[in-house]
Amino acid sequence: MTGFPLILGIESSCDETAVALVRGDRTIVAQAVASQDAAHRPFGGVVPEIAARAHVEVLTPMIERVLADGGVTLGEVDAIAATAGPGLIGGVMVGLVTGKALAFAANKPLLAINHLEGHALSPRLVDPELAFPYLLLLVSGGHCQLLAVDGVARYRRLATTIDDAAGEAFDKVAKLLGLGFPGGPAVEAAARSGDAARFKLPRPLLGSPEPHFSFAGLKSAVLRARDALPALTATDAADLAAGFQAAVVDCLLDRTVRAMARMPEATALVVAGGVAANGAIRSALTGLATSRGLPFIAPPLWLCTDNAAMIAWAGAERLALGLVDGLDAVARPRWPLDPAAEPVRGAGVKA
So what's the pLDDT on residue 43? 86
pLDDT at residue 1 tops 50:
no
Q: Does residue 186 have a pLDDT over 60? A: yes
pLDDT averaged over the chain? 94
Structural contact between residues 196 and 222, judged by C-beta atoms closer than 8 angstroms: no
For 93, 101, 159, 335, the CA distances from 332, given in Å and listed in that order, are 9, 18, 22, 6
Where are the chain's structural domains? 6-121+303-320, 132-299
Is there a common fold for 6-121+303-320 and 132-299? Answer: yes
Q: What mean pLDDT comes out for the span 147-175?
A: 96
pLDDT score at 42: 87
In CATH terms, the superfamily for domain 6-121+303-320 is: ATPase, nucleotide binding domain (3.30.420.40)
347 — pLDDT class (breaks 50, 70, 90): low
Stretch 266-285: mean pLDDT: 95
Please give the pLDDT value at position 350: 45
CA dihedral 248, 215, 266, 298 (to 10 degrees): -50
- Tell me the per-residue pLDDT of 35-78, one tens digit each, with 9 for 90 and over: 888 888 888 888 989 999 999 999 999 999 999 999 999 999 99
pLDDT exceeds 80 at position 351:
no
Averaged pLDDT for residues 268-273 = 96
* Spatial CB neighbours of 285, under 8 Å, sequence gap ≥ 6: 137, 252, 253, 256, 269, 271, 296, 298
Residue 343: which pLDDT band, with cuts at 50, 70 and 90? confident
Question: Per-residue pLDDT tens for 66-96?
Answer: 999 999 999 999 999 999 999 999 999 999 9
Question: Angle at CA 320, nearest 5°, toward 23 and 107?
Answer: 75
Domain 132-299 classified CATH 3.40.50.2000? no
Pairing state of beta strands 28-35 and 134-139?
unpaired
pLDDT at 304 exceeding the cut of 60: yes
pLDDT digits (tens, 9 = 90+) for 214-233: 999 999 999 999 999 999 99
Reported confidence tier of residue 3, pLDDT bands at 50, 70, 90: confident
Q: Where are the alpha helices (DSSP H) in 71-108?
A: 89-106
